[in-house]
Amino acid sequence: MSEGHNGELVPVGGGDAIPLVSEVMTIGRRESCDICLKFQNISGTHCELAFKNGVWHLRDLNSTNGVKVNGERTLRRPLRPGDEIGIAGHKYVIQYQLPAGTRLEEIFAEEEENVFGQSLMEKAGLEKPKLTPRKPGGRK
Alpha-carbon gap, residue 7 to 77, rounded angstroms: 17
Radius of gyration over every alpha carbon of the chain, rounded to an integer in angstroms: 15
Higher confidence at residue 13 or residue 117?
13
Model pLDDT, residue 131? 46
pLDDT in tens, 72-110: 999 999 999 999 999 998 999 999 998 887 776 766 666
**pTM to 2 decimals?**
0.74
**DSSP letter assigned to residue 7:** -
Q: Which residues pair with 95 in a beta bridge?
A: 8
User: 3-class SS at 48?
Assistant: strand
